[in-house]
Amino acid sequence: MKLDYKILDSSVKHIKGSEETIKSGDFYLEVAKEESFAFQIFIRADKPFFGTLGKNRDIHWKGLGDRIRIEIAGHEGLLDMSFLGYVQIDDGSIVADPILKKKSLYIESGYQMIWVQGKVPKGFSKANLELELRAYHSNGYRAEELVAKEDVNIGVLDYVIRPVKEGGFYLDLWQHLCSWARAYDVEYFSEEHFQIIDNYIKGLSELGQRVVDLIITDYPWAGQRCYQFEDNASNLYEFNIVKVSRKNGRLTCDFSAVDRYIDICFGHGIDEEINIFGIIGNWDAYSFGSPIGDLKDPMRVVCYDEDLGRFDYIRSKEEFGEYLRAVFRHLAGRGLWDKVKIMSDEPNNVELFKETLELIESAVPERKINIKCAIHDQHFFDNYGDNIQYLSLNTCELVNSMERLNSIKDEVNSRGGKMTWFSCCFPEDLNIFIKSPLIESRLNGWFTYYWDLDGFLRWAYAIWPTNPLKDVRYKYPKWNAGDMFFIYPGKDMKPMGSVREKNFLFGIQDFGIFKELEKSGISKTEIIREMERLLGSKCDMEFVPERSVRMKYSLEYKEYAELRNSLIKKHLLNSKL
């Protein structure tokens, strides 16, 4: 049986039928100690086979036909292999994205990508991680026969990186808890749901997440307007995590789910900030209506009327203020108020914003309200910036504001806030769609450093259409496949990663390395100057109304790897002098 294979870096994207775009060349990988890294194995046989990884022994339902087992010998325990799954995106292409948890897979025809990830421990003493790729073939009851082998050498720098949890990258990926419950068909905020939540929050913490999200109204974002789309019809509504009741005309609030969720996040080290969602300036509020007639900014809070035995809504501005007061005082009573930020997603009406903020402030006049905004329009910050402590700019608005970016950041930081950037359904460039070049997922960390920002925000860590393992396409062309999620729902109630998520993690690690190199004596000016060769000059970046940018950055993985490692080597050399 003939087996073809290639060893490739982690940024190579496999699109079925476009194998000619995958360049052949010398494999290059040089890593720091304690750095999460990955490479890929690209395989193809001349007939169908059942593939297994490592020492796995499995059998396909077809029986003992052709089998190929792939293992990597040397330094066992440092590496883990997984088959990649393939999803169909909007243009019909079949693209490798999910990192499957299967260690065996029947491969009918064509090429298959295998993901290999690992980490070199800080106690490793050699300059190279010397591995050997081996492929064994068997059929029926014949013993395995070695049909391919190749040495794989990974350079190891004598430099230990800090965990991303301890780094300076301020990661803010939004959480959609109800989407997680629907993926596994469990009751919202049930015991099973909290088990799932714990698993997913653990995954978020491993990326270095800093923020807890509390959605305290019903249907903010109006389900991302899912009611308008029949193709791959999907329920994307979020529900209030607070259980609200009315008895004898007075509201009562059950905060047990709130407290349990906060405790889960804090238990995984996500404890720097608590964002309150759904009470000011949500981007889609008006078309879905509102039960509160005397409040212009639509708010929806389901309330169970115990006297009448029926579900209703909070229906007055006064009662909504009473509800806010109960929520705020509960968080303050737990000693959490200094962490609380009121989150507004794409506000664009200053007068409406002002009215709602006044109501929020009146609910707890004894405490300072800190506002956080993710905006597309810099004019909103200019006109109402005094009330905004934390700010995130879309890529387009960031490029459009490049000349005054430093002054905006200085203003935000002077208020004790963080300034981040975000991409969403636009722009096409520098995004994390499944169709995007994989290196762009990694470059989020590089551009965050290059632009001197505190971190990165993204509207979705995991919100899925109805069956994301079968059809990831949704709302195209408004949304590109993958816009909604970094990860997939695994069958074990745990997240299943993607190659985009892992490359994104690698970029966060790079950000941390650059920050540490600054402390070691390599000037920020020098790092920025080196980066400019690959990322392009800031003054040449252009905003193209309404939703595009022009940027000239390299897509070559090796160039970025060599630049980063050359700076590490310079530091190592300087430390010996």
- Residue 408 placed within a domain: no
**Helix/strand/coil for 446:** helix
pLDDT band at 380 (very low <50, low <70, confident <90, very high): confident
A 10 A CB-CB count for 512 gives 22
Nearest Cα to Cα of residue 486 among 469, 470, 471, 504? 504
Does pLDDT of 77 surpass 90?
no
For position 333, what pLDDT does the model report?
98
Do 470 and 524 lie in one domain? The reply is: yes
Do 83 and 183 lie in one domain? The reply is: no
Residue 494 CA to residue 503 CA, distance in Å, equals: 20
Average pLDDT over residues 100-120: 96
Task: State CA 253 to chain mean position distance.
Answer: 32
Range of the domain at 473: 164-209+423-577
Residue 225 CA to residue 534 CA, distance in Å, equals: 39
Do 562 and 450 lie in one domain? The reply is: yes
Helical segments of 364-437, H only: 378-384, 395-400, 405-414
- Supply φ then ψ for residue 20, to 5 degrees: -65, -15
For position 323, what pLDDT does the model report?
98
Residue 52 CA to residue 57 CA, distance in Å, equals: 7
Do 65 and 200 lie in one domain? The reply is: no
Residue 537 CA to residue 129 CA, distance in Å, equals: 36
- Angle separating helix axes 499-520 and 524-535, nearest 10 degrees: 150
- Residue 124 placed within a domain: yes
- Give percent of the chain with pLDDT exceeding 90: 92
Do 124 and 175 lie in one domain? The reply is: no
CB 25 within 8 A of CB 69: no
- Angle separating helix axes 499-520 and 191-207, nearest 10 degrees: 40
- Residue 49 placed within a domain: yes
Residue 395 CA to residue 550 CA, distance in Å, equals: 11
Do 460 and 525 lie in one domain? The reply is: yes
CB 260 within 8 A of CB 272: no
Of 352-356, 387-391, 476-480, the range with the highest mean pLDDT is 476-480
DSSP assignment of 386-406: GGEEEEEEEHHHHHHTGGGHH
- Residue 255 placed within a domain: no
Nearest Cα to Cα of residue 464 among 238, 258, 198, 205? 238
For the chain, the residue count is 577
Task: Express each pLDDT in 395-447 by its tens digit.
Answer: 999 999 999 999 999 999 999 999 999 999 999 999 999 999 999 999 999 99
Q: Kindly give, in sequence order, each residue whose CB lies less than 8 Å from that of residue 250, ignoring residues fewer than 6 positions away.
A: none
pLDDT band at 24 (very low <50, low <70, confident <90, very high): confident
Do 71 and 84 lie in one domain? The reply is: yes
CB 292 within 8 A of CB 315: yes
Task: Express each pLDDT in 195-207 by its tens digit.
Answer: 999 999 999 999 9
CB 212 within 8 A of CB 274: yes
> Among residues 160, 194, 224, which one ends one of the domains?
160
- Residue 222 placed within a domain: no
DSSP assignment of 170-200: EEEE---HHHHHHHTT--TTSHHHHHHHHHH
Give the CATH number for residue 117.
2.60.40.10
Give the C-alpha distances (Å, rounded to integers) separating 239 from 176, 188, 302, 373.
Answer: 9, 9, 9, 21
- Supply φ then ψ for residue 80, to 5 degrees: -135, 135
Tell me the torsion sign for CA atoms 362, 276, 303, 330: negative
Instruction: State how beta strands 211-215 and 488-489 pair.
Output: unpaired
Task: Express each pLDDT in 32-48 by its tens digit.
Answer: 999 999 999 999 999 99
> Among residues 160, 191, 225, which one ends one of the domains?
160
Do 9 and 46 lie in one domain? The reply is: yes
- Residue 221 placed within a domain: no
* Residue 541: DSSP 8-state: -
Do 49 and 129 lie in one domain? The reply is: yes
Mean pLDDT lowest among 347-361, 461-475, 536-550: 347-361
Nearest Cα to Cα of residue 481 among 489, 491, 471, 490? 471
pLDDT band at 349 (very low <50, low <70, confident <90, very high): confident
- Residue 396 placed within a domain: no
Give the number of domains in the chain: 2
Residue 441 CA to residue 13 CA, distance in Å, equals: 12
- As a 3-state breakdown, the chain gives helix, strand, coil percent values, each rounded to 5, of 30, 30, 40
Residue 328 CA to residue 331 CA, distance in Å, equals: 5
For position 564, what pLDDT does the model report?
98
- Residue 145 placed within a domain: yes
CB 392 within 8 A of CB 457: yes
What is the chain's mean pLDDT, rounded? 95
**Helix/strand/coil for 321:** helix
Do 172 and 156 lie in one domain? The reply is: no
Give the C-alpha distances (Å, rounded to integers) separating 199 from 125, 164, 178, 192.
Answer: 34, 18, 14, 11
Task: Express each pLDDT in 287-343 by its tens digit.
Answer: 899 999 999 999 999 999 999 999 999 999 999 999 999 999 999 999 999 999 999
Do 92 and 65 lie in one domain? The reply is: yes
Residue 536 CA to residue 513 CA, distance in Å, equals: 21
- Supply φ then ψ for residue 407, to 5 degrees: -70, -35
Does pLDDT of 147 surpass 80?
yes
The token pair at 423 is 């991409």
> Among residues 99, 130, 160, which one ends one of the domains?
160
pLDDT band at 350 (very low <50, low <70, confident <90, very high): confident
pLDDT band at 285 (very low <50, low <70, confident <90, very high): low
Does pLDDT of 573 surpass 70?
yes
Task: Express each pLDDT in 258-278 by its tens digit.
Answer: 999 999 999 999 999 999 999
Do 149 and 57 lie in one domain? The reply is: yes
Q: Model-level pTM greater than 0.85?
A: yes
Long-range contact set of residues 379-384: C-beta below 8 Å, sequence gap at least 24: 380/347, 380/348, 380/350, 380/353, 381/408, 383/350, 384/350, 384/353, 384/354
